[in-house]
């Protein structure tokens, strides 16, 4: 892709900040907007251009990437009076990398198409580590042509990049990802607590079990944080709760029962009630240790 195309980036959070930095380091001119300007200050200092509102960013960017909090934020960013679809130029490419509702991704795609704007839903997995290292898994929904055009952008942000199907398919894939993680997180916490109660060194136990059949990303990357008492967010508890609620709603629409997911949601909601909604998902061990 032409290196002089301007990227507009909306949402400079735990994930977005590192993703935007990687695009900036790759030489793309960067326009940025986020609710709290201070979060973007380092990017601005490094040459990114701050935009005072979404409308201004949308009208001056060739590619627009969004990674915000909740589906209602996505709706506001795309469909609001000052939103992307009311101000982006014809021919612009928009990529929503928020984990959101598949039905909303389809709505964005359809409305964008009417205006000659190309839309992809492309949620990611890999947490703060994957965002920082440019090793995210990127799950994409949309048309092949748009995917091919934007692949060089995705390759800066991640390594495992798959076009899963039509609009909404990226979001469905991410929900499958979250369903798999939900029950696994309970198991990781219980395994560490069990090791501790048995008088073992949990760090040594991890050496034995993380490369065998029990291995998982959470076991390798989040279990050490649990042991160290590091509950800083690579991914917020409140956002994981949001994802699980969306996944349960989507599963119910398809007539699927998800007992593991339901239990995980119940536990995480209790964790949030303990005041841990802004902690990382590894904080679940605090609840299970009680």
Among 133, 166, 199, the domain-final residue is 166
In the structure, what pLDDT confidence band is assigned to residue 2 with cuts at 50, 70 and 90?
Answer: low
Domain assignment present for residue 184? The answer is yes
Residues 104 and 24 in one domain: yes
Residues 176 and 159 in one domain: no
Has residue 87 got a pLDDT over 70?
yes
Among 120, 151, 166, the domain-final residue is 166
Residue 253 to residue 256: CA distance in whole angstroms: 8
Residues 6+ apart with CB under 8 A from 45: none
Contact 170, 105 (CB under 8 A): yes
Residues 131 and 11 in one domain: yes
For 238-247, letters b (16+ CB in 10 Å) and e give: bbbbbbbebb
Domain assignment present for residue 156? The answer is yes
Domain assignment present for residue 2? The answer is no
pTM of the model: 0.95
Among 138, 166, 194, the domain-final residue is 166
Number of domains in the chain: 2
Contact 233, 279 (CB under 8 A): yes
Range of the domain at 272: 172-289
pLDDT tens by residue, 29-76: 999 999 999 999 999 999 999 999 999 999 999 999 999 999 999 999
Q: State the chain's mean pLDDT as an integer.
A: 96
Has residue 1 got a pLDDT over 70?
no
How far are the Cα atoms of 70, 145, 226, 267 from residue 274, in angstroms, in the given order?
A: 21, 47, 17, 11
Active-site residue list: 174
pLDDT tens by residue, 130-166: 999 999 999 999 999 999 999 999 999 999 999 999 9
Has residue 90 got a pLDDT over 60?
yes
Residues 18 and 105 in one domain: yes
Has residue 3 got a pLDDT over 60?
no
Per-residue pLDDT, 163: 98
Q: What share of the chain has pLDDT > 90, as a percent?
A: 97
Residues 124 and 178 in one domain: no
For 100-125, letters b (16+ CB in 10 Å) and e give: bbbebbbbbbebbeeeebbbbbbbbb
CATH number at 242 reads 1.10.1040.10
Residue found under tokens 């934020």: 73
Residues 124 and 103 in one domain: yes
Residues 161 and 121 in one domain: yes
pLDDT tens by residue, 94-105: 999 999 999 999
Residues 112 and 223 in one domain: no
How far are the Cα atoms of 114, 134, 144, 145 from residue 149, in angstroms, in the given order?
A: 19, 19, 9, 6
Residues 156 and 29 in one domain: yes
pLDDT tens by residue, 123-132: 999 989 999 9
In the structure, what pLDDT confidence band is assigned to residue 4 with cuts at 50, 70 and 90?
Answer: confident
């Amino acid at each position: 892709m032409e290196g002089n195309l301007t990227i507009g980036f909306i949402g400079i959070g735990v994930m977005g900040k590192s993703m935007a930095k990687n695009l900036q380091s790759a030489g793309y001119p960067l326009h940025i907007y986020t609710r709290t300007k201070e979060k973007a200050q380092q990017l601005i200092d490094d040459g990114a251009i701050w935009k005072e509102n979404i409308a201004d960013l949308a009208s001056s960017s060739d590619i627009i990437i969004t990674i915000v909090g909740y589906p209602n934020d996505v709706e506001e960013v795309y469909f609001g009076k000052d939103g992307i679809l009311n101000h982006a130029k014809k021919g612009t490419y928009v990529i929503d990398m928020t984990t959101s509702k598949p039905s909303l991704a389809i709505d964005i795609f359809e409305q964008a198409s009417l205006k000659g704007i190309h839309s992809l839903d492309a949620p990611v997995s890999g947490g703060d580590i994957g965002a920082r290292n440019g090793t995210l898994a990127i799950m994409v929904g949309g048309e092949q042509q748009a995917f091919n055009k934007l692949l060089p952008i995705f390759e800066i942000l991640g390594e495992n990049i798959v076009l899963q199907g039509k609009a909404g398919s990226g979001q469905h894939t991410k929900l499958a990802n979250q369903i798999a993680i939900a029950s696994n997180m309970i198991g990781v916490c219980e395994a560490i607590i069990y090791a501790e109660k048995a008088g073992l060194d949990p760090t040594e136990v991890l050496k034995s079990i993380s490369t065998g059949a029990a291995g998982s990303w959470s076991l390798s990357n989040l279990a050490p944080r649990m042991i160290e008492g590091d509950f800083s967010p690579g991914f917020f508890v409140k956002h994981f709760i949001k994802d699980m609620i969306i996944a349960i709603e989507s599963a119910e629409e398809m007539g699927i029962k998800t007992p593991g997911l339901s239990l995980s949601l119940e536990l995480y909601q209790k964790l949030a009630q303990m005041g841990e909604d802004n902690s990382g998902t590894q904080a679940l061990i605090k609840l299970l240790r009680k």
